[in-house]
Amino acid sequence: MAVPVRVRFAPSPTGKVHAGNIHTAIFDYLLARHTGGTFILRIEDTDVGRKEEGAVEHMMEALKWLGLDWDEGPGIGGPYAPYYQSQRLPLYKEAVEKLVAQGDAYYCYCSSERLEAMRKEQEARKQPTGYDRACRDLTPEQRKAKEAEGIKPVVRFKVPLEGHADFHDLIYGDITFEYKNIDDFVMLKSDGYPTYHLANVVDDTAMKITHVIRGEEWISSTPRHLLMYKAFGYTPPVYVHMPMIVGADRAKLSKRRGAISILEYRDMGYLPEALFNFLVLIGWSLDDKTEIMTHQQIVENFSLERMGRVAAAFNQEKLDWMNGVYIRNLNPDELTDRLMPFLEKYLPPEVKRPLDVDYIKQIVPLIKERIITLKDAADYASFFFVDELQYDPAKFVDKKTDTAMALKALKSAEEKLTPLASFDKDQLESALRALAEALGIKAGQLFNSLRVAITASDATPPIFETMAALGKERCLKRIQSAISILEKN
Ligand code: GLU
């Protein structure tokens, strides 16, 4: 039995969450559920300038919608609350003071103007940029003088001048970084807020995180974190850096490059279980061939060992296909429930609300083969609901059928259908096949004319079922309208 892990998803609330940034949450969640461990949500909101109003709420809604329920965190609490870093400032202060006292960190009074000028000079000399450690060895008197000037310092970590950090990443293997290439990085800013590095290490330790799963862009931060773990005397977690999801062009998905927010997928009518399955496959596979997997199957079989090192691209066509599969796998009642809000919202305003659920249940089996998203249904199925169709007379005409023939077919159909007592699919089929024969035309020609008359479209669900669902009165009315359009034409 696997050892229960403690994992955290630690988003910075700087915008709307998209597939690229929620991806790691899925793997946190899976590892926690697979091992009977704990999935923690921690909000890394220490970058005051980049914080965005509503981003946390948006994030939580997206996680819930995808079924990624957290065990500790905002809204739930837990033994290591608070789970917002902005509410944990005293802990970070205490931690840096400890490092300063033991000589692993120091106060730096350099102004941003000085740092900027230094960077420009380094660039001009084509030197690597980085802090020149001017404040690293200030004497107590020099420090006092700076304090007396009223300068609020930052706290920097004293990175060893030589040696290296070595660590093992479960996906990327053994990694080494030379200390000489690492800057004396800032841990605490002059406004009292920690940087990502400090807060991350302090909280991962305080919250007893066993595995850190995060994007590969954080690999280069890891040696800094390890230096802090060592200085604090804490044990570092296991690291699992994940390849970044890329777009079809293999470039990074990003907010700027039009990555769609997770809740937009919801609003477009993707099913959360389909998107979950799809995102799992970008990073993990059961056996390199199975595509459609239940939630339970994924949780049961999940293993870090089968996580890939190469990011799969976000393939929209595959997501569409998968959504269609999930839609078709829903039973009619479930699909009706899921469709209702979309139909209520997107069917034309003239359609009477509230919609008739029983009628929709009848239609659902007819449309489910053809829709990709729930939202599509409103468009595709609108002819089932509206009173007046907009006909395009050209649709009645094809290689074998001219307008006169279509008109004749529709008039005869009207005559044939008017006396019918029952309007079920079998009756309709036998009556109309007999009619085609009597008219001496191919059944397909008759059915095409009828299809256009009944739906105003030539790509629709099976015609007899469609007519049965619409009912006799509506069908006859439509046939009459089509006739008068063709007569005017
Ligand atoms: N706050 C970081 C982010 O937004 C967390 C990185 C990590 O998981 O350590 O991605």
What does each C-alpha distance from 352 to 23, 170, 348 come to in angstroms?
Answer: 41, 57, 9
What does each C-alpha distance from 149 to 66, 108, 145, 154 come to in angstroms?
Answer: 53, 13, 6, 15
Residue 126 Cα to ligand 1 midpoint, Å, equals 31
pLDDT digits (tens, 9 = 90+) for 312-349: 789 999 999 999 999 999 999 999 999 999 999 999 99
Ligand 1 atom closest to the CA of 21, numbered from 1: 10
Q: Is 229 in the pocket of ligand 1 (CB under 6 A)?
A: no
Residue 155 CA to residue 119 CA, distance in Å, equals 19
Catalytic site residues? 255
Q: Is 203 in the pocket of ligand 1 (CB under 6 A)?
A: no
Q: Is 28 in the pocket of ligand 1 (CB under 6 A)?
A: no
Residue 483 Cα to ligand 1 midpoint, Å, equals 65
- If one residue of 42, 52, 200 were mutated to test the ligand 1 pocket, choosing by the most ligand atoms within 8 A of its CB, it would be 200
Q: Is 12 in the pocket of ligand 1 (CB under 6 A)?
A: yes
Angle of helix 472-488 relative to helix 443-455, nearest 10 degrees? 100
% of the chain at pLDDT higher than 90: 90
Of 158-167, 303-312, 317-326, 385-394, the range with the lowest mean pLDDT is 303-312
- What pLDDT is recorded for position 20? 86
- What number is the average pLDDT over the span 174-203? 97
Q: Is 11 in the pocket of ligand 1 (CB under 6 A)?
A: yes
Tokens of 261: 């927010």
- What pLDDT is recorded for position 1? 64
Residue 294 Cα to ligand 1 midpoint, Å, equals 28
- What number is the average pLDDT over the span 235-244? 96
- What pLDDT is recorded for position 258? 59
Domains along the sequence of the chain with CATH: 1-74+196-329 (3.40.50.620), 331-382 (1.10.8), 393-488 (1.10.10.350)
Phi then psi for 473, rounded to 5 degrees? -60, -50
Let me know: does 238 contact 278? Beta carbons within 8 Å.
no
- What number is the average pLDDT over the span 261-271? 96
Residues whose CB is less than 8 angstroms from the CB of residue 60 and which lie 6 or more positions away in sequence, other chains included? 41, 74, 75
Helix (H) or strand (E) holding 166: strand 164-169
Of 90-104, 224-238, 248-262, the range with the lowest mean pLDDT is 248-262
**In the structure, what pLDDT confidence band is assigned to residue 308 with cuts at 50, 70 and 90?**
confident
User: Is 252 a residue whose pLDDT tops 70?
Assistant: yes
- What pLDDT is recorded for position 21? 87
- What number is the average pLDDT over the span 417-435? 96
pLDDT digits (tens, 9 = 90+) for 430-484: 999 999 999 999 999 999 999 999 999 988 899 999 999 999 999 999 999 999 9
- What number is the average pLDDT over the span 6-23? 93
Q: What's the predicted TM-score (pTM) here?
A: 0.93
Q: Is 200 in the pocket of ligand 1 (CB under 6 A)?
A: yes
- What number is the average pLDDT over the span 124-140? 95
What does each C-alpha distance from 100 to 107, 149, 169, 358 come to in angstroms?
Answer: 8, 21, 30, 71
Task: Residue 117: count other Cβ atoms within 10 Å of its Cβ.
Answer: 11
- If one residue of 46, 51, 218 were mutated to test the ligand 1 pocket, choosing by the most ligand atoms within 8 A of its CB, it would be 218
Residue 395 Cα to ligand 1 midpoint, Å, equals 56
pLDDT digits (tens, 9 = 90+) for 69-97: 999 999 999 999 999 999 999 999 999 99
- What pLDDT is recorded for position 250? 82
Between 23 and 251, residue with greater pLDDT: 23
Which residue has the CA at smallest separation from atom 10 of ligand 1? 11
- What pLDDT is recorded for position 255? 60
Q: Is 46 in the pocket of ligand 1 (CB under 6 A)?
A: no
Helix, strand, coil % over all residues of the chain, rounded to 5: 50, 10, 40
Residue 18 Cα to ligand 1 midpoint, Å, equals 14
Q: Is 10 in the pocket of ligand 1 (CB under 6 A)?
A: yes
- What pLDDT is recorded for position 122? 95
Residue 15 Cα to ligand 1 midpoint, Å, equals 14
Helix (H) or strand (E) holding 301: helix 295-301
